[in-house]
Amino acid sequence: MAKFMGLAEAIAQNVRDGDTVAMEGFTHLIPFAAGHEIIRQGRKHLTLIRMTPDLIYDQMIGMGCADKLVFSWGGNPGVGSTHRMRDAVENGWPNALALEEHSHAAMANAYEAGAANLPFAVLRGYLGVDLPKVNPKIKSVTCPYTGEVLATVPAHRPDVGIIHAQRADREGNVLIEGITGCQKEVVLASKRTIVTVEEIVDKLNPPSFNSVVLPHWTVGAISHVVGGAHPSYAQGYYKRDNSFYIAWDKISRDRDTFLAWMKDNVLDKTPEAFAAHAKKGSV
């Protein structure tokens, strides 16, 4: 049942050391403010699930929040490497990071299986590639009807699912528009959920009968964080900050530069700081 609260309280109540956490948003609506709050609260030993770790997990990995990463594409889109993730994998800094690596198709199917309350997902995938040799969770099943051998992966069932959305109404129903990724599946697959929103409105007014709406009884904590997806974006509110994604390459390359940036922009800040980004990039 949806409950409105501040972001600090939402994270404190729902995210515990050692949890498996999925923070989704496929380029769009990435819940950066929630990631920063997890860093400020010093959560440790998390297993982080995300199709594209993006800058949000690069920051969390670099600040020592994660023991394990479950993912399918770990780079800075269109720019290059996620340097903090690479430093953890290649050099064990700030700690060793275990990898469970999939393809996008498998990750999307695993979220969908979780939402559908199934133990595993089945797909025509991983043909002729090396990933199954290094990820023992990728297995196969023989179709009982045709005999075709198909790939399987376990369903994602996170302890906590975290997403950012455009808006919620006062009852706690949540609307997502634009590139909706697999946020609906993450919310329905997770034991506990946190949704940050750009706006809280009297009436949700979904733009069409088929809009993606999560009923209030499927979501847990809702926190109002204006700009909470920056440098990702919220369609209809503000644009993706591509210049920041480009700038992150230099900030994150060096450990000290990264730590200084995190102190100034995350550790010494509060969720309210995100509002200025939304204003700057507003559409």
Partner 1 sequence: MDFTRNEMMTIVAARALKNDDVCFVGIGAPSAACNLARLTHAPQITLIYESGTIGTRPNVLPLSIGDGELCETALTTVSVPEMFRYWLQGGRITVGFLGGAQIDKFANINTTVVGDYAKPKVRLPGGGGAPEIATNCGEIFITMAMGKRAFLDKLPFITSMGHGPTGAERRSMGVKSQGPTRLITDMCVFEPDAETKEMTIVSIHPGVTREEIAENCGWTPRYAATCSETPAPTAQELEVLRDIQARTKAAHAA
**Binding residues for partner 1 (CB under 8 A):** 26-28, 51-52, 71-75, 77-79, 81-82, 85-86, 89-90, 101, 103-105, 108-109, 111-112, 123-131, 134, 178-182, 184-185, 212, 233, 235, 239-240, 242-243, 245-246
Angstrom distance (rounded) from CA 148 to CA 130:
20
In this structure, what DSSP letter does residue 66 have? E
Closest distance between partner 1 and the C-beta of residue 199, in Å?
Answer: 17
Q: Which residues of 185-217 are buried (b: 16+ CB within 10 A; e: fewer)?
A: bbbbbbebbbbbbbeeeeebeeeeeeeebbebe
Closest distance between partner 1 and the C-beta of residue 128, in Å?
Answer: 3
Closest distance between partner 1 and the C-beta of residue 37, in Å?
Answer: 23
Angstrom distance (rounded) from CA 50 to CA 86:
16
- Residue closer to partner 1 by CB (options 37, 233) is 233
CA 190, chain centre distance (Å): 12
- Residue closer to partner 1 by CB (options 36, 50) is 50
- Residue closer to partner 1 by CB (options 112, 169) is 112
Compute and round to an integer the Cα radius of gyration of the chain.
18
Closest distance between partner 1 and the C-beta of residue 245, in Å?
Answer: 6
Do the bridges between strand 46-49 and strand 20-23 make them parallel or antiparallel, or are there none, so unpaired?
parallel
Alpha-carbon dihedral of residues 234, 252, 94, 75, nearest 10 degrees? 60
91: exposed, middle or buried (Cβ count in 10 Å: 0-12, 13-18, 19+): exposed
- Residue closer to partner 1 by CB (options 164, 240) is 240
Closest distance between partner 1 and the C-beta of residue 185, in Å?
Answer: 6
- Residue closer to partner 1 by CB (options 1, 210) is 210
- Residue closer to partner 1 by CB (options 111, 223) is 111
Closest distance between partner 1 and the C-beta of residue 11, in Å?
Answer: 25
